[in-house]
Chain A
Amino acid sequence: MTENRRLMRTPKSVDVDITSQCNLRCKYCFHKSSAGDTRDELPTEEWVRFFAECGSNAVMDVTIGGGEPFLRPDLTALVDAVVANRMRFSVLSNGGKITPEVARHLAATGRCNHVQISVDGASAEVHDRLRGRGAFEGAMRGIRILKEAGVAITSRITIHRYNIADLDNIVALLIDQIGMPSISTNSACHQGLAREFEEEVQLTPQEQCDAMEKIVALSKRYGNRITAQAGPLAQARGYQQMEDARKQGVGIPGRGYLTGCGCMWSKIAVRPDGTYVPCGMLSHMALGRINRDRLLDVWQNHAELTALRNRYRIPLSKFQACADCAWQMTCTGNCPAGTYTRTGEVYAPNTDDCLKRFLEKGGRFVEV
Chain B
Amino acid sequence: MIVTSDSQVLKTKEQMVLREEFDDWAILFDPDTGRAMGISPTGATIWKCLASDAKLDVQAIAGTLREEYDGIPDTVDTEILEFIDSVRKHGYVEERS
Decide if A87 touches B20 in the complex (CB within 8 Å). no
Partner of A6, one of B15, B20, B22, B36: B22
Nearest CB in chain B: distance from A31 CB, A: 27
Decide if B19 touches A88 in the complex (CB within 8 Å). no
Partner of A88, one of B18, B20, B31: B31
In the assembled complex, the Cα of A300 lies from the Cα of B50 at a distance in Å of: 29
In the assembled complex, the Cα of A6 lies from the Cα of B15 at a distance in Å of: 28
Whether a CB of chain B sits under 8 angstroms from the CB of A60 is yes
Chain B 4-39 per-residue mask, 1 if CB under 8 angstroms from chain A, else 0: 000000000001111111100000010110101000
In the assembled complex, the Cα of A58 lies from the Cα of B47 at a distance in Å of: 15
Whether a CB of chain B sits under 8 angstroms from the CB of A33 is no
> With A9-B20, A9-B21 in contact, do A111 and B32 touch (Cβ < 8 Å)?
yes
Contacts of B36 in A (CB 8 A): 60
Whether a CB of chain B sits under 8 angstroms from the CB of A8 is yes
* Total number of B residues with any Cβ neighbor in A under 8 Å: 13
In the assembled complex, the Cα of A58 lies from the Cα of B17 at a distance in Å of: 6
Nearest-neighbor residue (CB-CB) of A82 within chain B? B31
Decide if A8 touches B15 in the complex (CB within 8 Å). no
Decide if A87 touches B19 in the complex (CB within 8 Å). no
Contacts of B32 in A (CB 8 A): 110-111
In the assembled complex, the Cα of A9 lies from the Cα of B15 at a distance in Å of: 21
> With A60-B36, A86-B15 in contact, do A8 and B21 touch (Cβ < 8 Å)?
yes
Whether a CB of chain B sits under 8 angstroms from the CB of A113 is yes
In the assembled complex, the Cα of A10 lies from the Cα of B20 at a distance in Å of: 9
> With A88-B34, A111-B31, A111-B32 in contact, do A60 and B19 touch (Cβ < 8 Å)?
yes
Decide if A86 touches B31 in the complex (CB within 8 Å). yes
> With A6-B22, A9-B22 in contact, do A113 and B34 touch (Cβ < 8 Å)?
yes
Contacts of B15 in A (CB 8 A): 86
Decide if A87 touches B34 in the complex (CB within 8 Å). no
Nearest CB in chain A: distance from B55 CB, A: 24
Contacts of A60 in B (CB 8 A): 17, 19, 29, 31, 36
Contacts of A58 in B (CB 8 A): 17-20, 29
Nearest CB in chain B: distance from A59 CB, A: 9
Chain A 88-110 per-residue mask, 1 if CB under 8 angstroms from chain B, else 0: 10000000000000000000001
Question: In B25-62, which residues have CB < 8 Å from any A CB?
Answer: 29, 31-32, 34, 36
In the assembled complex, the Cα of A113 lies from the Cα of B20 at a distance in Å of: 23
> With A111-B32, A113-B34 in contact, do A86 and B17 touch (Cβ < 8 Å)?
yes
Contacts of B34 in A (CB 8 A): 88, 113
In the assembled complex, the Cα of A238 lies from the Cα of B33 at a distance in Å of: 33
In the assembled complex, the Cα of A38 lies from the Cα of B89 at a distance in Å of: 47
In the assembled complex, the Cα of A350 lies from the Cα of B22 at a distance in Å of: 31
Nearest-neighbor residue (CB-CB) of B29 within chain A? A60
Contacts of A8 in B (CB 8 A): 21-22
Nearest CB in chain A: distance from B84 CB, A: 21
In the assembled complex, the Cα of A284 lies from the Cα of B38 at a distance in Å of: 35
Contacts of A87 in B (CB 8 A): 31
Decide if B19 touches A10 in the complex (CB within 8 Å). yes
Nearest CB in chain A: distance from B37 CB, A: 13
In the assembled complex, the Cα of A246 lies from the Cα of B46 at a distance in Å of: 49
In the assembled complex, the Cα of A51 lies from the Cα of B39 at a distance in Å of: 25
Nearest CB in chain A: distance from B16 CB, A: 8
In the assembled complex, the Cα of A10 lies from the Cα of B16 at a distance in Å of: 17
In the assembled complex, the Cα of A255 lies from the Cα of B20 at a distance in Å of: 29
Contacts of B21 in A (CB 8 A): 8-10, 12
**Residue of B15, B17, B36 ringed by the most chain A CB atoms within 10 A:** B17
Q: Which A residues are closer than 8 A to B by beta carbons?
A: 6, 8-10, 12, 58, 60, 83, 86-88, 110-111, 113
| Chain A to chain B contacts (Cβ below 8 Å), 9 pairs | A8-B21, A9-B22, A10-B21, A12-B19, A58-B19, A58-B20, A60-B36, A86-B16, A111-B32
Extra pairs beyond A12-B19, A58-B17 (5, CB < 8 Å): A8-B22, A10-B19, A60-B36, A86-B31, A110-B32
Task: Give me the 9 closest cross-chain CB pairs, A-B, nearest first.
Answer: A58-B19, A8-B21, A86-B17, A88-B31, A86-B31, A60-B29, A58-B17, A86-B15, A88-B34
